[in-house]
Amino acid sequence: MATTTDTAPPGATPPDTAAPGVNPPDTAAPGANSPDTAPDSTAALKVVPARHYARWTAAVAVLVLLAQFAHGLATNPVWEWGVFRDYVLSETIVQAVWVTLQLTFYATVLGFLLGTVLAFMRLSRSPVLQTVAWTYIWVFRSIPMIVQLVFWFNLSALYKELGVGIPFGPVFWSVDSNSLIGTIGAAVIGLTLHQAAYAAEIVRGGVISLDQGQLEAAAALGIPRLRQIRRIVLPQAMRAILPTAGNEIIGLLKGTSVVYVMSIGELFYQAQVIYGRTGRVIPMLLVATAWYVVLTSVLSVAQYYVERRYARGADRTPPPTPLQRARRFLRDLRAEAARGGRSVVPLKPLKPLKSLETAPVGDGR
């Protein structure tokens, strides 16, 4: 008895499948619209920007506080702006500012020189140098600056004379401590030794941030170690050193006010002397504050341009400086004013260039 099957003969196309390249009747052609691929109905909706109510409220609150502070500065008679004008450029205050700048300069230069030596001592392979440098940094970062200044101011109580000679042997030359180290000298020594401890860590952090492969390549080329430090390590490390070093110098400038305990005529000490004599405490503190703000602002601007110079190797197209932005803004304003009132004349299109006559290929000429 014969049985029938539903299979098609070999080579025949099944009735429910389409031939290759022919779309089946139940499927839509690619790209045809279907209920699932209907045009987006949100195109006609109105787009509303996000509203940051908390941000606006915080901004208004800050502006109100600033307005109240400015109003208090202008109307509160305790500020005594007349006394401020009389003393802010007085000879005594200007000389005190000069003393402050001198202390800052000497402590910065000597402190960073000593700090650089200490940084490379910590990075050396000698355990003795590493231990000495680490101990120095630990001790001078642990003792407050005012304690160090008072200690150096009373150095003569510990050592009556300072001399030069053979260690643990005879002394060839000696001098009285008070005549060798005066008040300014003790202040410079105290500020320098304190600053060197922090400068050492700043320099060390900048050096270890470099890729060690550069030093290995320099050593493979036979470059001496000192030249590697001077020509390869420090120029690249300066980019990492400068931001922290700038902050440290600004902090040192304000930290010179601590030397008032040594009766040195720097800015804060002279302000204290004047308001102790006149009783004008608030305006004299305002005088000192104004000078500190001016000096730190100048140092901040200098730091910005020095950092910009050392960043040239990493950023070939640095952003414009504030001065460049101001110049561009003024130039655009002048150009806009020059164009005002003038009718714009459209440029005539250029005539097309005549095509060059070329010899046919294979002409033989």
Predicted confidence (pLDDT) per residue in 86-125, tens digit: 999 999 999 999 999 999 999 999 999 999 999 999 988 8
Strands 171-176 and 161-165: antiparallel
For residue range 273-320, what is the model confidence (pLDDT) as tens digits? 999 998 889 999 999 999 999 999 999 999 988 888 887 766 667 777
pLDDT band at 44 (very low <50, low <70, confident <90, very high): confident
What is the predicted pLDDT for the residue at 222?
85
Whether the CB-CB separation of 202 and 115 falls below 8 Å is answered with: yes
Kindly give, in sequence order, each residue whose CB lies less than 8 Å from that of residue 180, ignoring residues fewer than 6 positions away.
162
Start-end of H helices in 259-319: 267-278, 281-310
- High-pLDDT (> 90) share of the chain, %: 41
Q: Is residue 322 exposed (0-12), middle (13-18) or buried (19+ Cβ within 10 Å)?
A: exposed
For residue range 225-256, what is the model confidence (pLDDT) as tens digits? 888 888 888 888 888 899 999 999 999 999 99
Among 24-38, 54-68, 206-220, top mean pLDDT goes to 54-68
Whether the CB-CB separation of 6 and 14 falls below 8 Å is answered with: no
